[in-house]
Chain A
Amino acid sequence: MPATDEETVVPYVITDACLDVMDRTCVAQCPVDCIQEGERMLYIDPDGCIDCGACEPVCPQEAIHLAAALPAELQHFEAVNAQFHTATDYGPAGPGRAAGVDHPVVAALPRR
């Protein structure tokens, strides 16, 4: 059955606690393979995410948040995760891009 939510929902969001760690345990748990890699961080595709919550508790960095409960200082990662999957000049590996390229906001963060 298709999701009936017409608006784009972002149930779970990966934040900068993932930066330069990329543990990837979440990738193995995601039943719909909606977690994609940039160079330094992972991102959740809001169109693919089915809101099951498998990823959130397995992250050793506690980088994954329910979008509805993001702390104020991390709110912008909701857009960062979504834009990573819709932008043309950066995003996950795919046709025309051999490896993932981070969102500019993430790429600009200092190395950890």
Chain B
Amino acid sequence: MPHVAVVGAGPSGLFATAELRRRRPDVPVDVLDRLPTPFGLVRYGVAPDHHRIKSVTATLAAVFADERVRFLGNVGLGSDVTVAELRRSYDAVVVATGSGAARDLGIPGEGLPGSITAADLVAWYNGHPDAVPVLSWPRPATVAVVGAGNVALDVARVLLKSGTGLDDTDIPDPVRAGLDAHPVHAVHVVARRGHHDVRFSLGELLAFDDLPGVVPVVDPAGLTDDPPPGHAARARHAVFRRWAENSPGPGDRVLRFHVHRSPVAVLGSTRVTGIRLADPTTGTASVLDVDAVVRAIGYRGTPIPGLPFDPERATVPHESGRVEPGLYVTGWLKRGPSGVIGTNKACAVESVGSLLDDLDDLPAAAPSARKALTAAHEVVDWAGWTRIDRAEIALGRRRGRARTKITDTAELLAHARH
């Protein structure tokens, strides 16, 4: 019987696993993850106040109800096992490790204290075990968030809500305290794209209408009368036009959109004091006085030994998900960091289709190699994760919440053991 390894227990890996179950229920699947916890960016990327999106974990977890699907948590590709070892141990390997690194702006001043990546900030407020505190500004701060997508809006919303506003979420206590200790009275969202081309989704924009004490404002420069094609883009355009009329009063906290503006330099000598913007068409420059800059301009895949890599696209070259017979990619590592959670399902269906076209003709792997692979590591299996899950729910209950995340790897492993 062939045995498949899926590397990465995020949405892409688990959609691939579900598709494998659906089409070949006889084939056992091992799902590896470098963390002791499953769900990848659903747990560590989706904003903590997006309860409905986070509830996709119930769907993703369903594959583990089948005893032929094993969770092998706390096993890192590169650190604990190599691609070559996996290929010797499994008949087919699907790599779904995503795009973990942040893209940089490539402008002067980007390395100043107070200039941070959304990837680091999001990992911290979501309690990722590897994350460190990144907020450092004097109070109360004005923050520029650079980016034209929903991550920029997540960051802006979380900063404006502060810790107290996230009381109904699973954020760890130190994160709640850290957000409360770094209040934000204004956020500037800066996007190089024009009003018609920004990637903010309508629902994410409308959420700011309901944020108490926050007034969204749009810089009317560049906001044209002609609506863009597509009903969602038109509705977004209408929101921007409505917000262009807003005038915040004293005491209001402000979310100000600067669209069609390129960041050209982060300003400051010892830490961030401003950001210089330019109109990409005319070059006209302007300066925003800010205490911090968060760049939310996307993620990048990083090369993995044993896998080919396209440095331009920062993805693994493939044909319909096939890197070569026996080796497959899916999700962000395959097509780059774009789309929403559901996009990865159709992506996984394609990759698994390629795998199943090949599977019966692939050379058989040695089960003994598989056993040795897992014997050498402290593996967190699904029962171990279930114990972590229960501990987090109990921790949350003591705080009147549905869950409070545990962030320390040693503590996660201790809960997994008993």
Contacts and interface: CB of A to CB of B under 8 A. Distances in A.
Bind each other: yes
Nearest to A67: B203
A1 B15 CA distance: 18
Contacts of A65: 231-232
A62 interface: yes
B206 A52 contact: no
Interface string B324-357: 0000000000000001111111100100000000
Q: Which 3 A-B pairs have the closest CB atoms?
A: A54-B342, A31-B342, A51-B52
Interface residues of A, number: 27
Contacts of B56: 31-32, 50, 52
B135 interface: no
Interface string B13-54: 001000000000000000000000000000000000011111
B342 A3 contact: no
B232 A56 contact: yes
A69 B52 contact: no
Given A4-B51, A11-B203, A54-B343, 19 more contacts: A1-B51, A1-B403, A2-B58, A5-B52, A11-B52, A28-B345, A31-B11, A31-B15, A31-B344, A31-B345, A32-B56, A50-B341, A51-B52, A52-B342, A54-B340, A56-B232, A65-B232, A68-B203, A68-B206
19 contacts: A3-B51, A3-B52, A4-B51, A29-B342, A30-B345, A31-B11, A31-B341, A32-B59, A33-B59, A51-B50, A51-B52, A52-B53, A52-B56, A52-B340, A57-B230, A66-B206, A66-B235, A68-B206, A69-B235
Interface string B214-234: 000000000000000011100
B180 to A, nearest CB: 21
B206 to A, nearest CB: 6
Interface residues of B, number: 33
Contacts of B342: 29-31, 52-55
B53 to A, nearest CB: 5
A57 B343 CA distance: 11
B285 interface: no
Interface string A41-77: 0000000011111111100001001101100000000
Contact of A51 (B15, B53, B346, B403): B53
Given A1-B54, A62-B230, A62-B231, A29 B168 contact: no
A50 B53 contact: yes
A9 interface: yes
A56 B342 CA distance: 11
A79 B202 CA distance: 21
A69 B209 CA distance: 13
Contacts of A33: 59
B215 to A, nearest CB: 19
Q: Residue among B55, B202, B206 with the most chain A CB within 10 A?
A: B55
A73 to B, nearest CB: 12
A57 B201 CA distance: 10
Nearest to A49: B52
Nearest to B232: A56
Contacts of A49: 52
A32 B340 CA distance: 13
B91 interface: no
A18 to B, nearest CB: 13
